Every structure is written in structure tokens, then in C-alpha cells.
Amino acid sequence: MTITKVTDAGLDRSRIVTPLIINGDMSVAQRSTSVTGVGDGDTGYHTLDRWRFSEGGDNSTVFTMSQDTNVPTGQGFAKSLKMDVTTADGSPGSSDSMFLQQRFEGQNLQLLKKGTSSAEKITVAFWVSSSKTGTYILELQDSDNTRNCSQSYTISSADTWEKKVVVFPADTTGAIDNDNANSFEVNWWLLAGTDFTSGTLATSFASRTNANRAVGQVNVGDNTSNNFYMTGCQMEIGEFDTNTIPDFPFESFENNLLKCQRYFETFPSNDGDGVIGFGYGSGSDTARTMFTFKVTKRAAPTMSDSLSSSRQYRINFINGSGTASNQNSTSTPSFGTISTLNSGYMNLAGFSSIGGGLFGFLIYNNNTTLLSADAEL
């Protein structure tokens, strides 16, 4: 990991050139560019890579979550994350919560020196636009030690891109685990019930108290005309303001995609046939194919096949007698991963008399991405 020194108010600060926030320019969306009906019970990853929607309680608000081309002018961004309210709720329940989130492996945040006397301040900068003006909450959450810190920011003008630079104090309590598990989170709140707003905003790190997490947060979900856009998200080690914050650390699309694929990777095809891998017949009607991930996964991934009625796989193979042939199957595959986290395999029945032999394994005649490997936090 490349580190350079920058000077801020006469103090040396360590800055990571490789971004801590992945896909902060919202350019990668392997799963989908738009998902409707995002609301109660829909905590998880839906569209843009690494960006997680989190909700709690019994929310009635529903969003369309999408990748959008509405971006701040002249800043170099091409995409944004958009939350568009499609079902409104002007009175959230006391336990209701909704926010956008990025999660971090602990081993990637050791430079914060959290839990030591040398702990660093943290600055989060981002561009934001919303039709709903008012006070919003940005929250850092230490999951290893159940500690939180929240800061407010203001959207002053409706439907206008504004750059926010938010500084969080250092936390000398609770070291972050040096592992590949979820250790730390940044939360952009969208709405909060009274369970999260009835206390005093926790502007210094402290043991998590829900009542102090989102005091003052507006309700983005109170009208179907409301929306919320965000792009250019970055997290820096040290204290910066609007004049000293480093420029957004743009990366090539290829590098950004590879970082996203540590956590989630899709397999072809987008335009008809797409090769998954090569393998062999493992029974009279069953084939096994082996494939290699583009990037070593964070942990053993969950493999899935997103298709149902439109599923169709094809093998081109040479059987044990040397005869070339091809066969189709519409069966549901089963998956396994190899312990190296670099590769996996798929078993698929529904063929006829394939026996032993090598073959090429293809996705057949479908324009929808079929397979995914999910190792998200």
C-alpha cells in the first residue's frame, strides 16, 4: 500500500493514496444499475458495488436505488448513487432507521491507530444533492468495540450539488481487529425514528447508545418527490477542511472494478454465450466445471445462479471414446469453493450419458448475468 506525507497546518499527516472507500465515484455496478422496491427487510447490497443499504424497524418508506448520471459539474465524476422515494412515510416508527453504508475490513484501517494514544482523526468528504434540505447525520461505527461517533452536516439548497467535509475526532479506546472481518462502517443516514434521535448527538466516540446516533436527522422519506444523490466519497486519515482536503483519488475503472471483485464478482454473459470454465463428466448425467476468480476473495464466497425458468447451460465436450458432442441442461447447479479463495467449482446434472471426458462449459443463449461469487462484509 502506497503512503505519502502531506502537510496540514504544519503537521505531517499520513495519507493513503489507494482510496479507503472503494467505488467512491459510483462507477461500478455489477449487480444492477437500478433496483425498485428497496425498503423494509431489504438490508443488503443491491446496485452499486460496496454500497450497502441498511434498514431497521418496520419501515414503510420505499426507494428506487440506482446508478445515475446526475453529477456535480466540472469535478470529473460521471456517476452518482441515487435514492428516489417511491413510497413515502411522514411519521417513521420509533425503531425505524435507514442509511447508506460502506463497510471496511479491519486489516485495511490499521493506519488509523485506533485505540492507541497516537490515534488519528478521520475526515470524510463527499458530494451530495437532495430535494430535501436540512440536517443530516454522518456516522462512524466501530463494530469491533461497539463504539460510535456522529457528526451533522447541512444540505442548504434543494437539488444543488454541495461538497461536504466532515471531521471526526481520534478515538484512543478500542483497537480495530487486524483481520478480514467487518470492523468499521461509515453510515449516511436517510431517516431515523425517535429511538435514534431522542438523546444528545454523540460527537465524540463512545459506547453505542442508539438514542445519540442520529439526533436532528431529517426524514428523506416523507414525500415521493424527495431524492438523495451522492458521489465523490473519500475517507482520509487526519484533519482537513474544504481548503486542505486532497482531491478525490480517481482510479481507472479497471482498478476500481478489481477492488470491488474482492467482495463480489459476476460471471458472463451479457451478450449470449459466455465461457465459465473447463471441467469433466463426473457421472452419467452430471458435469463439474472449475473456474478461477479474477481476484482473491475476502473470504470463501457464496456462489449463486440468479436464473430460474430461463436457465440454460451448454457443454461442448469430448467423451471417453473421443467423440465430440454438445448437450444442454436447465437444472439448478450446486457450487463449491476451493480453500485458496481463488477458485471454485460448479456441479450440474440434467445431461444425458456424458460419462467421463473433458469439456468446455458455457452459458447458453441468455443476456442476463448468471453466476456470482459473494464475499461481502
Q: Which among 165, 152, 130 has a CA at the least distance from the CA of 197?
A: 152
The string of pLDDT tens digits covering residues 8-59 is 444 444 444 568 999 999 999 999 999 999 999 999 999 999 999 999 999 9
* N-terminal to C-terminal alpha carbon distance within the chain: 21
Query: Can you tell me the mean pLDDT for 261-276?
Result: 73
pLDDT at 17: 54
pLDDT confidence of residue 361: 61
- For the chain, domain boundaries: 3-259, 264-374
For domain 3-259, the CATH architecture is: Sandwich (2.60)
As a whole number, mean pLDDT of residues 283-291 equals 79
pLDDT at 266: 87
pLDDT at 5 over 50: no
Q: Tell me the torsion sign for CA atoms 286, 292, 293, 299.
A: positive
* Residue 370, pLDDT score: 65
Write the pLDDT tens digit of every residue in 83-107. 999 999 999 999 999 999 999 999 9
This prediction's pTM: 0.91
pLDDT above 90 (res 185): yes
